[in-house]
Structure 1
Amino acid sequence: MSATVGDNPDDRQPSPPTRRAVAVVDAVVDASIHQPQRRTSLADIVRDTGLSRATTHAIVAELVDLGWLQRDDSGTVTLGGGFLATATRALGSDRLTLAARPILARLADELGMPVFLARRIDEQAITVVEYGWPSSRRGAPTEQTVDLPTGSRIALRPPICREFIAWEGDEVRRRWLDRAVAEDRPRLRDALDAVAARGFSVERVTDEHRAVIDALATMSSVPEPLRRRVGALVSELTAVDYLPDELSGEVGAVTVGAPVFEGGRVSASIVACPNATMPADELARIGAATVAAAGQLSTAPG
């Protein structure tokens, strides 16, 4: 009996060729975002994806024929007009992003800081979809100097993306925690409980933490063992989130993230970016406003 398409990934017949083609497109997209000055070659794509040169060459050639990629006389591979046209149509039909834009704009004005929408790509990653800016900064050059540009892919790995995990069941939580170094798991488990009870996650401020987050944004194609080592470094640099008894006096926050639910599951989050220290009451105000904004996007189960 042949496998059929269903909601459970374990019940579906895998399609390795599809995954390889998507990996190639993702590699070119990531390079265009994070390394815009690089002249991406076939060798770069081979290195970024881990695919063989022969497989990569065949996929690139087919995508060039389809207009999804371009390859010039020097061998540089870039996104093609066909892909960009399809992506533009897809963005125009994305109901979540369209609904989020006015909500993000209002939240940015209310808080006086940048905010963004991140959404789940699959079980392994999220992406930054849309930014909202305070009225005073819209169209300013600062919009181009964000740590995580639109289109950035972020792996759902410890210690980050907690608002995507805190409301999951025990098995999903366990798999996420298992990717952390053993000594960090008790703190991460407590942090997930705190996020679920409070309604939002908080990334804490340190200069070292910001630098590592910048580096993580460029690591979508780095081998998993190295990503795990960098994730461990992040945990060493800063305590993860705030537990209830730690939210007093002056506190720091790089970002505050609240979940957007679709059908009872977290499919996206709205993230405010204070990037500052403040009284605990002010952090609570930012968190409450972000939760309220995310609630406007959430849909009920069924």
Structure 2
Amino acid sequence: MTPTIGPAVDAGQEAIPDPARAGEGSGALSPPTHRVVRVLELLSRYATERLSLARIVREAGLSRATAHAVLAQLTADGWTVRDDDGCYGIGLRLLTVTRRAEAAFPLRRTALPHLRTLSEQVGVPVFLAERDGENIVVTEVVGNPSAGWIRQGRRLPLAPPVCREFIAWAPESARTAWLATADPAHRDRLTGVLTEIRARGYSVERLVDDSTPMLEALAGLRDSPITAALRAQLGSVITDLITIDYLPDELGAENAVVTLAAPIRDRGGAVVAAVVSCPDTRLTKQELNDLGAATSATADRITTGGEDEG
């Protein structure tokens, strides 16, 4: 899985709006509420730190008077705390609400210890990707993936050619609809790849040799404030840099593997999430098979654990 197509939104980067790109309250139904949310989002991103009022003003894009008023109320209500140096951090009330909210996301709680065990076992970072409608969201990350796009809150569209592990086991009608939105030049390969993913149990994301620097540069441009037409053109160029997955006769002595993803299913068998290992290196065929087996086994254990908990 890698963010290569469509207007993916990096929730981690976009949580705190840039005042140069959006005026205070622009697009907000309730600007005062929006300002409070921006402050809380900022503090939550630096949960182990204390931020000065000046930094909050700068990064949240608020006036000093507004930020001071928001923080004074939040601190009085226990949502934030203020230390002797006048710096702010998250408060116990916010922490309490956060812990209560975790009950609404049992899969993450079930998955996290398994992700940690897998990362220790295979020696690479791993993450949990969950389906949210027609998007995939990175919800837990263990380790420090080398790919800059892998971070908590990263949102990707469920669009060809990525996120194949979410489609490979879908009903034929869903696979057909998904393939219909793919570049016509890739449809035959994607059809074969989906069959191979079902057979071996996981997808593999690979890149054409020496394309990574160019891909990162293009991805950065795509996520910048540009027109929809230019974003689509960039997506097309990025697509041309990708070789979609590996078919059995394409595996060589060494194989470039960015990520490897295995499905997590609900009680009805639908794929609702994926365990994604992130070697971002070249692996022998045996190393690739071993990583695939370990990642798939972890996804199966999470599936079973999620059913037991549910």
Normalising by structure 1, what TM-score? 0.70
Instruction: Report the equivalent of 2:87.
Output: none
Q: Does 1:58 align with 2:36?
A: no
For structure 1, list consecutive stretches of 5 or more residues without a partner in the other structure.
Answer: 1-25, 47-51, 134-141
Alignment correspondent of 1:73: 63
Answer whether contact 2:126 2:145 (CA < 8 A) is retained: no
CA contact (8 A) 1:270 1:293 kept: yes
Specify the alignment match of 2:86 in structure 1.
Answer: none
Report % sequence identity: 32
Equivalent position SS for 2:188:
helix
Instruction: Report the secondary structure of 1:298's partner residue.
Output: helix
- Where relative contact order (Cα < 8 A, 6+ residues apart) is larger, the structure is 2
Counterparts of 2:202 and 2:303, CA distance in 1: 14
Residue of structure 1 equivalent to 2:43: none
Match of 2:18 among 40, 43, 56: 40
AA aligned to 1:190 is G
Tell me the residue number matched to 1:265: 270
- Which residue of structure 2 aligns with residue 23 of structure 1? none
8 Å contact kept, 1:118–1:270: yes
d(CA) in 1 for partners of 2:65, 2:18: 8
Work out whether 1:275 is the aligned partner of 2:253: no
CA shift digits 1:55-77 (9 cap, x unpaired) = x143434544xx43457227999
Give the 3 Å change call, closer, same or farther, for CA 193–45 of structure 1 in structure 2: farther
- Give the C-alpha shift of residue 294 in structure 1: 0.3
1:241 aligns to 2:219 (yes or no): no
Note the C-alpha offset of 1:39.
Answer: 5.8
Alignment-mate amino acid for residue 247 of structure 2: L
Q: What residue number does 2:54 align with? A: none
**Aligned mates of 1:171, 1:249 — CA distance in 2:** 37
Aligned to 1:99: 110
Question: Contact 2:218–2:238 (CA<8 Å) still a contact in 1?
Answer: no
Give the corresponding residue for 1:132. 142
Equivalence for 1:166: 168
Cα distance in 1, alignment partners of residues 65 and 19 from structure 2: 6
Counterpart residue type for residue 68 of structure 1: V
Are the structure 2 counterparts of residues 213 and 180 from structure 1 closer, same or farther at C-alpha, using a change threshold of 3 Å?
Answer: farther
Q: Separation in 1 of the partners of 2:243 and 2:289?
A: 19
Contact 1:191 1:243 in 2 (8 A): yes
Decide whether aligned partners of structure 1 residues 283 and 233 sit closer, same or farther in structure 2, where only a CA change above 3 A counts: same
- Aligned Cα root-mean-square deviation (Å): 3.8
C-alpha distance in 2 between matches for 1:115 and 1:76: 40
Quick one: structure 1 residues 63 and 233, their matched pair in 2 at CA, closer, same or farther if it must change by over 3 Å? same
- Cα distance in 2 for partners of 1:168, 1:285 equals 25
Q: State the secondary structure of the residue aligned to 1:150.
A: coil
Please say if residues 115 and 126 of structure 2, whose CA atoms lie closer than 8 Å, have aligned partners that are also in contact: yes
SS in 1 for 2:152: coil
State the partner residue of 2:48.
none
Instruction: Decide whether aligned partners of structure 1 residues 239 and 57 sit closer, same or farther in structure 2, where only a CA change above 3 A counts.
Output: closer
CA distance in 1, matches of 2:146, 2:241: 27
Asked if residue 292 in structure 1 is aligned to residue 297 in structure 2, the reply is yes
Cα distance in 1 between the residues matched to 2:115 and 2:121: 10
Distance in 1 separating the partners of 2:192 and 2:123: 31
Contact 2:139/2:153 (8 A) holds in 1: yes
Q: Which has the larger radius of gyration?
A: 2
Q: How many residues align?
A: 254
Q: Is the 8 A contact 1:159 1:234 kept in 2?
A: no
* TM-superposed deviation, 1:255: 0.5
CA 1:226–1:178: 2 relative to 1, 3 Å: farther
What does 1:144-223 align with in structure 2 at a 5 Å threshold? Answer: 146-205=148-207, 206-209=209-212, 211-212=214-215, 216=219, 219=223
The aligned amino acid for 1:34 is: Q
CA gap 1:230/1:169 in 2 versus in 1, 3 angstroms: farther
1:211 to partner: Cα distance: 5.0
